Structure 1
Amino acid sequence: MKRNKEVLEEIFEIDKPIIGMILLRPLPGSPRYDSARFGMKEILKIAVEEARTMEDCGVDGLQIENIWDFPYLKGEKIGHETSAALAVATQKVREAVRIPVGVNCHLNGGKVSLAAAVAAGARWIRVFEWVNAYVSHAGLTEGIGAELARYRKLLGAEDVKFMCDVNVKHGSHFIISDRSVEEQAHDAESEGAEVLIVTGFETGQAPDAEKVRSFSDTVGVPVIIGSGLTEANASELLKFSDGAIVGSYFKKDNNWKNPVDPDRVKKFMKSVESLRREAKDG
């Protein structure tokens, strides 16, 4: 099936965009927040430094995340302090770079992400479970597409796009085991997901090429890689996808808890640029 890539083209000015992740240190209200050692001033300083580094290394977009806020709350239980901190961080990063910025609030905090995105002028949010449901260490997580679509309408924020995981990592989908991954992708697309994200089973693990190809062949919206893309597998996986979100691989020793490694980012983006040229010439 031919995919309509207009949503990605509205946000990015390049084919197969690579989105780097700004993994904010623990935010106010989370168990690991340390106001004395890593208060908001230090959190914002690190976020801006990493954003500028990745932009200078050629990354095409940035996604702000509260990944250090585990164990995660869900949905309406996520506090206003998290939304406020995400909005401030997103605004600071957006002011520091020229590339587009998005937001992701764990765990499936779509309304928190959308509120922060609207306040800070972000271009998209990532939604882990748009439709259907799955079970993980955080319990049952249900689809939030219906309420998010209405919330976006309420806020008049149609310019903020929904990038949605299908068969999301870190969980079991046995409760919808009669639905194939391709059927789940159709579920998300038919219910308004504007970009689909395909991942491996956990952070840093890539989906296999057949899974990516199957997604791309059966839906009409863009498909991007959401985990595990590396310099070694980029050629194989980007052939079937329209871009990627990269987190762990851009960090020192391929560990998401470490600082950004500029050399890894530069080397990776040079490989992607070569792939883009080959695709254009071919």
Structure 2
Amino acid sequence: MTSRLLDSVPFLLVGVVHLLPLPGSPRGTRDVARIRERARRDAEAYREGGAHALIVENFGDAPFRKDGVEPHVIALMALVVEEVRESTGLPVGVNVLRNDARAALGIAVATGASFIRVNVHVGAMVTDQGIIEGRADETLRYRALLQSETEIWADVLVKHAVPLAPLALEDAAEETVQRGLADALIVTGPMTGRAPDPAELSRVRERLPTTPVFVGSGVTADNVARYIHAARGAIVGTWAKVEGKIENPVDPARVQRLCQAITRALPH
């Protein structure tokens, strides 16, 4: 999916569909129809605004489980991913927070999703869920077992976390690709809504020039030009919402504004 899209789109815009709290989570609701309707509306708003792809994640389920989620979470996310794919026609990814890559792969295979996002694919990170260890071996073997071509988009020193031992960003990126066999990399700021230093993306891109690198947080219409030459795309959630507030629905006008800013920043 990445190579095909990047061949036709110089800078890929991926919109995040933040699910409302799912049943069983601390703020969860039993109103499954409302969860599905909000997800569909957000997905269609991204498409209307010009996004090229989507990623669905159970963002409302905080505080997140460190790894495995319950079966009903997997089932409901699969329903939403399928609905989003059918209603928009866009490529869709899956992120099962905080780090359930097996569940994400299962959902992807069941629904035809194109990629999954893995927050900690290799190494170990200290997070608000405790120490999360990457399980690239399990994830890659499970993908092989499923005979799936689903891409693995892996975060490098992911937000809301610090490495268990000091590690340079570009070294972590190299490990993630060469030993973790990730298909694409995501570089974020320190937390949701915070942008990374463009120089950090440039260092990763220089170390791994053939691997797609995406900005994973903090991109806006005002700063996206800073990333055009360092990244192949951006994953955007917070800024695309009404008034830029993460709890609000997606605003297609803001998505369109971001797309226009990308177009202006691209070399002509």
Pick from 79, 96, 105: which aligns with 2:96?
A: 105
The question of 1:62 aligning with 2:57 is answered no
Q: How many residues are matched?
A: 265
Percent of matched pairs sharing the same residue? 34
Contact 2:5 2:12 in 1 (8 A): no
The question of 1:24 aligning with 2:19 is answered yes
Query: Which whole-Å deviations, capped at 9, do the CAs of 1:190-221 have from their partners, x for residues lacking one?
Result: 12011010010000000011111111111131
Query: Which whole-Å deviations, capped at 9, do the CAs of 1:103-153 have from their partners, x for residues lacking one?
Result: 101001111111111111100000001100111111000002110000001
- Separation in 2, partners of 1:172, 1:267: 33
Structure-1 residue corresponding to 2:82: 91
Pick from 116, 124, 129: which aligns with 2:107?
A: 116
The question of 1:142 aligning with 2:133 is answered yes
Corresponding letter in the other structure for 2:261: S
Pick from 186, 190, 197: which aligns with 1:201?
A: 190
The question of 1:215 aligning with 2:215 is answered no
What SS does the aligned partner of 1:258 have?
A: coil
Structure-1 residue corresponding to 2:171: 183
Contact 2:124 2:131 in 1 (8 A): yes
Structure-2 residue corresponding to 1:43: 35
- Separation in 2, partners of 1:267, 1:172: 33
Corresponding letter in the other structure for 2:187: V
Corresponding letter in the other structure for 1:116: I
- Separation in 2, partners of 1:172, 1:102: 25
What SS does the aligned partner of 1:176 have?
A: coil
What SS does the aligned partner of 2:227 have?
A: helix
Structure-1 residue corresponding to 2:2: 8
- Separation in 1, partners of 2:103, 2:37: 22
> What is the aligned-residue RMSD (CA, Å)?
1.2
Corresponding letter in the other structure for 1:202: M
Structure-2 residue corresponding to 1:4: none
Structure-1 residue corresponding to 2:248: 258
Contact 2:25 2:61 in 1 (8 A): yes
- Separation in 2, partners of 1:227, 1:144: 23
Structure-1 residue corresponding to 2:73: 82
Q: 4+ residue stretches of structure 1 with deviation over 6 A? A: none
Contact 2:214 2:231 in 1 (8 A): yes
Structure-2 residue corresponding to 1:268: 258
TM-score (norm 1): 0.91
What SS does the aligned partner of 1:56 have?
A: helix
- Separation in 1, partners of 2:160, 2:15: 20
- Separation in 2, partners of 1:117, 1:163: 13
Contact 1:11 1:123 in 2 (8 A): no
- Separation in 2, partners of 1:156, 1:11: 22
- Separation in 1, partners of 2:35, 2:205: 37
